[in-house]
Structure 1
C-alpha cells in the first residue's frame, strides 16, 4: 500500500492570532528558496526581504522574524507570501526549521519569536 505524506495546510500551525489580520503581513521571499507553511523566517537586513531562519547567518536571517503562513515557491524569482509577524500562538510541532538548525538554534529562534509576541506552545 502506498503511504501518502501531506504537508501542513496554510495556517495549520496557528493556535490563535490577533483580531482581523493584525498578526499577518505580506512578505517577499528572496529568490532561490522554496518554503513550506510554518517555515520560520528571518529578515535580510540589506534588502528587507525574507528567507529561511538561519541562526548561524550574519545577514539578518539569524533573527527569527516570523512564520510563513502558507508555502511559497521562490525558486526562480522573488515571490510574495504572508507571514505571522506578531501577536499569535503557534504550535511548536507545526514549525518548519532548516535542516542545519539544531536544538540550540531552535531555542534561540523561539526566543526571537517570543519577543515579537509569537508564542510557541
Structure 2
C-alpha cells in the first residue's frame, strides 16, 4: 500500500481571524517559486510593495515578517519575474505555529523575532 502525504489546506494554519475577513488582504506575491499555505512573508518596499517569503539576509523589507500566505502558490502558477494576486493574513489573527513555513536555516532566536514582528500587526502564533 502506498503512503499518502497530505499537504496544508487553504488556511489550515488559522486558529481564528477577525470577522468579515478583516484579517485578509489581496496583495501582489512574487510568483518565481511555489509557496506553501502558511508561508511567512515580508513586504519588499522597493521598487513596489510585493510580498515575498521572509528573507532574513535581505535589506529591502522582506526581512521583516508582516503577513502569512493563505493559499499555496502552486507549481502551475509559477512565472519567474512575475507577481500574482494572492490572499494573505495581514492582521488580527491567531495562527498555529507548527503549520507555518519558515525560511530554511532559521534559528530559534530569529523565529522569536519574526513572531514579535507578526505580533506588531496583531498576528499571534500559538
TM-score bucket of the superposed structures, by smaller chain: over 0.9
- Identify the residue that residue 75 of structure 1 maps to in structure 2: 78
TM-score w.r.t. the length of structure 2 is 0.90
CA root-mean-square deviation: 1.2
Mind listing any 5+ residue stretches in structure 2 that lack a counterpart?
A: none
Q: How does 1:36-55 map to 2 (within 5 A)?
A: 36-46=36-46, 47-55=48-56
TM superposition outliers: structure 1 runs of 4+ over 6 Å: none
Mind listing any 5+ residue stretches in structure 1 that lack a counterpart?
A: none
- Worse overlay, 56-65 or 66-75: 66-75
TM-score w.r.t. the length of structure 1 is 0.93
Paired residues in the alignment total: 121
1:104 aligns with 2:104: no
From the two aligned structures, give the one with the greater helix fraction: 2
